[in-house]
Copies of this chain bind each other. A is one copy, B any other.
Amino acid sequence: MTVHFRQVTIVGVGLIGGSMGMILKRQGLADRVVGVGRSLGNLELAVQHGAIDAFERDPKAAMKGAELVILATPVESYAGHLKEWGRVLEPGTIVSDVGSVKGSLVGQVEVLVPAGVHFVGAHPIAGKETSGVMAASTDLFTGALCIITPTANTDSQALLTMQHVWAAMGSVVRSIDPFVHDWILGAVSHLPHVAAFALMNALTDLQQRTEGGAELLEYAGGGLRDTTRIAESSLEMWRDIFLGNPENLSVMIEALEKELQRFKTLIQAKDGPGLEHEIARAREARQRLK
């Protein structure tokens, strides 16, 4: 199977969208990569950095001739985008995305694309501490997982095409039901982010209760730094992810609360063997994460 696009249009040319554009060009998968975005300065940077060939300020103009459209903006913006320019897409066009939540969103987007246009959800599990198109690179996805989330409505040819695109990005591609995707990512990504944000906020609370004026964070070692590194992640992105996965996150935060409570009870009871058991369980699970 060979995949080739005359034009790919990328909506939102940041770290992920920009890296995709670079690789599409480098691999010869697209004759032309067109960017769309709110910031003229960013689009100009994206051209200079080799992430896109050209850009359009008018999204409808950018969709003309596009055989593949990639949504690389926050998931909350998808509906607005599709309402704005969805109807100008030609039949056969594939619309895909790179969002971190899927679940019911996939069904909502499927309804919004016109008849004959195919939506395929995708989520590359890749990122960096730096964001923006200047951080885009051709090796961002190398060896990283990309989860594609087909449904019963997904066009099988469009699904194959997107699997091929993501393999060309260097990713390890897996297809998973959108709701299962949100359960899995809820556990291994969204919950750790809640935990890291909550830990930083707990430290702010404890700082306010610290007598004698000591600055707690001055005493932090590598452990706290590692544990809370992801608490610096993008505000808008994580707000939208939390809003997009509320049922799973509720259950998962409760699971974490239950485990914290278990530690608290054992500590209050000075139960050495009980603490050993809980710490040993955690260490064994962590060792499997290598």
Taking beta carbons and an 8 Å cutoff, which residues of A are in contact with B? 125-127, 144-145, 147, 176-177, 180, 183-185, 187-189, 191-207, 210-212, 214, 216-217, 219-233, 235-236, 238-239, 242-243, 246, 249-250, 252-264, 266-268, 270, 272, 275-276, 278-283, 285-289
Shortest beta-carbon distance, A227 to chain B, in Å? 4
A199 and B145 CA atoms in complex are apart in Å by 22
Contact of A260 among B203, B227, B257, B276 (CB under 8 A): B257
Residues in B neighbouring A228, C-beta threshold 8 A: 192, 227, 286, 289
A217-B188, A225-B289, A243-B272 known; A238 and B279 CB under 8 Å?
yes
Say whether A196 contacts B282, CB under 8 Å. Answer: yes
A196 and B225 CA atoms in complex are apart in Å by 12
Say whether B198 contacts A232, CB under 8 Å. Answer: no
Say whether A198 contacts B260, CB under 8 Å. Answer: yes
Residues in B neighbouring A145, C-beta threshold 8 A: 219
Say whether B238 contacts A197, CB under 8 Å. Answer: no
Residues in B neighbouring A191, C-beta threshold 8 A: 199, 202-203, 206
Say whether A286 contacts B232, CB under 8 Å. Answer: yes
Further 14 A-B residue pairs, CB within 8 A, beyond A201-B259, A205-B258, A250-B264: A187-B210, A188-B203, A188-B217, A188-B220, A189-B221, A192-B224, A201-B278, A204-B281, A217-B285, A223-B230, A226-B226, A232-B283, A235-B280, A238-B275
Residues in B neighbouring A264, C-beta threshold 8 A: 249-250, 253-254, 257
Contact of A227 among B125, B176, B187, B227 (CB under 8 A): B227
Say whether A227 contacts B224, CB under 8 Å. Answer: no
A144 and B220 CA atoms in complex are apart in Å by 10
A200 and B229 CA atoms in complex are apart in Å by 17
Say whether A256 contacts B199, CB under 8 Å. Answer: yes
Give the residue name and chain of the B residue nearest to A259 (CB): B198
Say whether A279 contacts B197, CB under 8 Å. Answer: yes
A266 and B194 CA atoms in complex are apart in Å by 12
Residues in B neighbouring A189, C-beta threshold 8 A: 219-221, 223-224
